[in-house]
Chains A and B, each alone.
Chain A
Amino acid sequence: MVDVESREARGPGGMTPPSEAAGGVSRRRGLFDREILSQAAVEGMKKFHPRVQVKNPVMFVVLIGTVVTLVESIVHPSLFAWLITVWLALTVYFANFAEAVAEGRGKAQADTLRRLRVETEARRLGEDGSEERVAAADLGKGDRVVCEAGDVIPSDGEITEGVASVDESAITGESAPVIRESGGDRSAVTGGTKVLSDRIVIRITAERGHTFMDRMINLVEGAQRQKTPNEIALTILLAALTIIFVPVVVALQPFARFAGATVSVVVLVALLVCLIPTTIGALLSAIGIAGMDRLVQRNVLAMSGRAVEAAGDVQTLLLDKTGTITLGNRMASAFHAVGGHSEEELAAAAQLASLADETPEGRSIVVLAKQRFNIRERELSADHLFVPFSAQTRMSGLDVDGRRLRKGAAQAVSRWVTERGGSPSAELDSIVERVARSGATPLAVADGQDLLGVVELKDVVKQGIQERFAQMRAIGIRTVMITGDNPLTAAAIAQEAGVDDYLAEATPEAKMNLIKAEQEGGKLVAMTGDGTNDAPALAQADVGVAMNTGTTAAKEAGNMVDLDSNPTKLIDVVEIGKQLLITRGALTTFSIANDVAKYFAIIPALFVVTYPQLHALNVMRLHSPETAVLSAVIFNALVIVALIPLALRGVRFRPSGAAAILRRNVFIYGVGGVIVPFIFIKLIDLVLAATGAFH
Chain B
Amino acid sequence: MGFGWTIVSMVVVLVIAWRFLGAYMVAVYENRTRWLAVLERPIYRVIGVDADAEQSWQRYGASVIVFSGVVLVIGYVLLRLQGHLPLNPQHQSGVTPALAWNTIVSFVTNTNWQNYSGESTMSYLSQMGTLALQNFLSASVGVAVAVALIRGFARKGSRTIGNFWVDLVRGTLYILLPIAFLSAVVFMAQGAIQTLSGPVHVSDALNGVRQAIPRGPVASQEAIKQLGTNGGGFFNANGASPFENPTGLTNFLSLALILSIPVGLTYTFGKMVGQLRQGVAVLAVMAVLFGGWLAIGATAEHQPNPAVAAAGLDRQPGGNMVGKEVRFGDTSSAFYNITSTQTSTGSVDSANDSYNPMGGFATMTGMMLGEVSPGGVGTGLYSILLFAIITVFIGGLMVGRTPEYLGKKIQAREVKLAALGVLVMPIVVLALTAVAVSVHAGRAGPLNAGPHGFSEILYSYTSVTNNNGSAFAGLTSNTPFYNITETVGLLLGRFAIIVPVLALAGSLAVKDVVPASLGTFRTDKPIFIGLLLGVTLIVGALTFFPAVSLGPIVEQLSYGRFF
Contacts and interface: CB of A to CB of B under 8 A. Distances in A.
Interface of A: 229-230, 232-234, 236-237, 240, 243-245, 247-248, 250-259, 275, 309, 312-313, 315, 473-478, 521-523, 577-579, 581-582, 584-586, 588-589, 592-593, 595-596, 599, 603, 606-607, 611, 613-614, 616-617, 653, 657-659, 661-663, 665-666, 669-670
B546 interface: yes
A613 B431 contact: no
Nearest to B439: A254
Given A229-B411, A236-B419, A244-B427, A255 B402 contact: no
B394 interface: yes
Interface in B521-563: 521-522, 525, 527, 530-531, 534, 538-539, 541-543, 545-547, 549-550, 553-554, 557-558, 560
A233 B522 contact: no
B518 A475 contact: yes
18 contacts: A240-B423, A245-B543, A248-B426, A248-B543, A250-B434, A255-B454, A259-B454, A577-B400, A582-B398, A582-B400, A585-B397, A588-B397, A596-B542, A599-B542, A603-B549, A606-B546, A658-B518, A662-B398
Interface stretch (B65-73, B161-169, B507-515): B507-515
Contacts of A521: 515
A257 B415 contact: no
A416 B414 CA distance: 69
Contact of A666 (B415, B416, B531, B550): B531
A256 B423 CA distance: 23
A229 B433 contact: no
Contacts of B514: 315, 522-523
Contact of A658 (B438, B520, B547): B520
A351 to B, nearest CB: 49
Nearest to B562: A616
B228 interface: no
Contacts of A606: 546
Nearest to A589: B394
Contacts of B414: 233
A237 B419 CA distance: 7
B415 A236 contact: yes
B434 A232 contact: no
Interface residues of B, number: 65
Given A247-B430, A251-B433, A254-B437, A230 B402 contact: yes
B546 A255 contact: yes
Centre residue among A245, A312, A523 by max chain B CB count within 10 A: A312
Contacts of A243: 423, 427
A661 B521 CA distance: 10
B454 A258 contact: yes
Given A255-B454, A259-B451, A659 B434 contact: no
B232 interface: no
Centre residue among B390, B426, B517, B522 by max chain A CB count within 10 A: B517
A581 B402 contact: yes
Given A607-B554, A659-B527, 13 more contacts: A232-B412, A243-B427, A244-B539, A245-B543, A255-B433, A476-B517, A578-B401, A585-B399, A588-B394, A589-B394, A613-B558, A658-B400, A658-B522
B420 to A, nearest CB: 8
B519 A477 contact: yes
Given A588-B394, A603-B549, A613-B554, A254 B438 contact: yes
Contacts of A577: 400
B518 A257 contact: no
Contact of B415 (A233, A245, A254, A613): A233
A585 B398 CA distance: 5
B450 interface: yes
Contacts of A245: 542-543
Interface of B: 390, 393-402, 407, 410-412, 414-416, 419-420, 422-423, 426-427, 430-431, 433-435, 437-438, 443, 450-451, 454, 512-515, 517-522, 525, 527, 530-531, 534, 538-539, 541-543, 545-547, 549-550, 553-554, 557-558, 560
A596 B534 CA distance: 12
Nearest to A310: B402
Contacts of B400: 312, 475, 577-579, 581-582, 653, 658, 661
Contacts of B522: 658-659
B411 to A, nearest CB: 5
Contact of A247 (B394, B427, B541, B557): B427
B524 to A, nearest CB: 11
B543 A584 contact: no
Contacts of A473: 518
B419 A248 contact: no
Contacts of A258: 437-438, 443, 454
B454 A662 contact: no
A413 to B, nearest CB: 47
A582 B519 CA distance: 12
Contacts of B419: 236-237, 240
Contact of B397 (A240, A476, A584, A603): A584
A473 B451 CA distance: 58
A232 B553 CA distance: 38
Nearest to B517: A476
Given A233-B410, A248-B546, A476 B393 contact: no
B527 A662 contact: yes
Contacts of A234: 393, 397, 415
A523 B515 contact: yes
Contact of A476 (B394, B426, B520, B553): B520
What 9 pairs between A and B have smallest CB-CB spacing? Answer: A585-B397, A476-B519, A578-B400, A476-B518, A476-B517, A240-B419, A613-B557, A585-B398, A258-B437
Given A248-B543, A255-B550, A476-B519, A585 B402 contact: no
Contacts of A256: 550
Nearest to A593: B538
A194 to B, nearest CB: 41
Contacts of B549: 603, 607, 614, 617
Contact of B527 (A247, A259, A584, A663): A663
A43 to B, nearest CB: 28
Given A236-B412, A248-B426, A315-B515, A666 B393 contact: no
B416 A236 contact: yes
A223 to B, nearest CB: 24
